């Protein structure tokens, strides 16, 4: 008698950590939101989050999910959520392969008073419409104002309205398009990372004109 092709894991039979491992290894690759925020006292914070996507095109809204603090990551996660909730402004900086190590350094658990721009070795840049600095070296920085925070279990979905987008000239392809091959985005896997280049496309003639599922 042959074994079944697929293994089955029921959520009710798993611990939270076991389910988490299955999710982060399955939902890949994930973009990295390198979030810069500022406390009410003006202390800068910089932390990466890979539960990140576009929530709405109109109004333009981005979503990040911030998990509960753990012994390993309590500093950056707790500070980011607190800062966004209190100041109501923040930046999502996109992470290229060239800034991978800097991004990873900023994920360390440090005291709330520590300036994580300095820890990561990157430069804070004054923004246009929000009073929180961006990462100067990031190819794309998106300025946001808090729309709402939605608790989901022990996590928090943070929805932010896009106010302004800053793009390096070398990353801009014209006609409001991004030269993705130029900035080489870094993706998050299950504890590891991966590059996504070179990109490729499929012949659009093979896709029904009425389909809008793949932007």
On whether residue 98 sits in a domain, the answer given is yes
On whether residue 82 sits in a domain, the answer given is yes
Per-residue pLDDT at 70 exceeds 50: yes
On whether residue 5 sits in a domain, the answer given is no
Instruction: Judge whether 162 and 194 are in contact, CB under 8 Å.
Output: no
Taking only the tens place, the pLDDT of each residue in 138-195 is 999 999 999 999 999 989 999 999 999 999 999 999 999 999 999 999 999 998 999 9
Instruction: Judge whether 35 and 91 are in contact, CB under 8 Å.
Output: yes
On whether residue 71 sits in a domain, the answer given is yes
- As a whole number, the mean pLDDT across the chain is 90
pLDDT given for residue 76 in this prediction: 43
On whether residue 11 sits in a domain, the answer given is no
pTM as predicted: 0.89
**Number of folded domains that form the chain:** 1
CA distances from 122 to 8, 63, 67, 116 (A): 44, 24, 25, 9
On whether residue 1 sits in a domain, the answer given is no
On whether residue 70 sits in a domain, the answer given is yes
Per-residue pLDDT at 58 exceeds 50: yes
pLDDT given for residue 69 in this prediction: 67
- For 37-104, give the DSSP string: EE-TT--EEEEEESSEEEEEETTEEEEEEEPPP-TTTHHHHHHHHHHHHHH-EEEEEE-BGGGHHHHH
32-41, 67-76, 198-207: which is most confident: 32-41
- Which residues constitute the domain of residue 149? 16-172+179-206
Q: What is the largest CA-CA distance in the chain?
A: 67
Taking only the tens place, the pLDDT of each residue in 34-53 is 999 999 999 999 999 999 99
On whether residue 100 sits in a domain, the answer given is yes
- For 141-209, give the DSSP string: EEEEEEEEEEEETTEEEEEEEEEEEEE-TTTEEETTEE-HHHH-BEEE-SS-EEE-PSP----GGGS-T
pLDDT given for residue 113 in this prediction: 79
Name the phi and psi angles at 86, rounded to 5: -85, -45
**The CATH number of the domain where 132 resides is what?**
2.30.110.10
pLDDT given for residue 72 in this prediction: 47
Per-residue pLDDT at 2 exceeds 70: no
pLDDT interval class at 206 (50, 70, 90): low
User: How far does the chain reach from its first CA to its final CA, in angstroms?
Assistant: 44
């Amino acid at each position: 008698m042959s074994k079944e092709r697929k293994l089955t894991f029921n959520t009710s039979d798993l611990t939270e950590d076991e389910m988490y491992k299955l999710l982060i290894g399955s939902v890949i690759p994930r973009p990295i939101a390198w979030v810069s925020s500022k406390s009410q006292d003006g202390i800068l914070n910089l932390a990466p989050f890979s539960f990140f996507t576009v929530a709405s095109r109109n109004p333009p809204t981005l979503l990040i999910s911030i998990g509960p603090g753990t012994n390993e990551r309590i500093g950056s996660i707790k500070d980011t959520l607190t800062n966004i909730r209190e100041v109501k402004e923040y930046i999502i900086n996109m992470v290229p392969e060239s800034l991978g190590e800097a991004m990873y350094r900023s994920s360390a658990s440090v005291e709330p008073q520590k300036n994580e721009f300095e820890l990561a070795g990157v430069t804070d840049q004054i923004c246009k419409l929000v009073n929180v600095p961006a990462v100067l070296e990031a190819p794309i920085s998106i300025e946001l104002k808090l729309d709402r925070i939605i608790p989901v279990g022990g996590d928090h979905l943070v929805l932010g309205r896009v106010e302004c987008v800053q793009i390096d000239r070398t990353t801009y392809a014209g006609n409001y398009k991004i030269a993705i091959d130029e900035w080489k985005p870094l993706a998050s896997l299950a504890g590891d990372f991966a590059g996504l280049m070179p990109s490729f496309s499929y012949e659009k003639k093979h896709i029904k004109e009425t389909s809008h599922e793949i932007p």
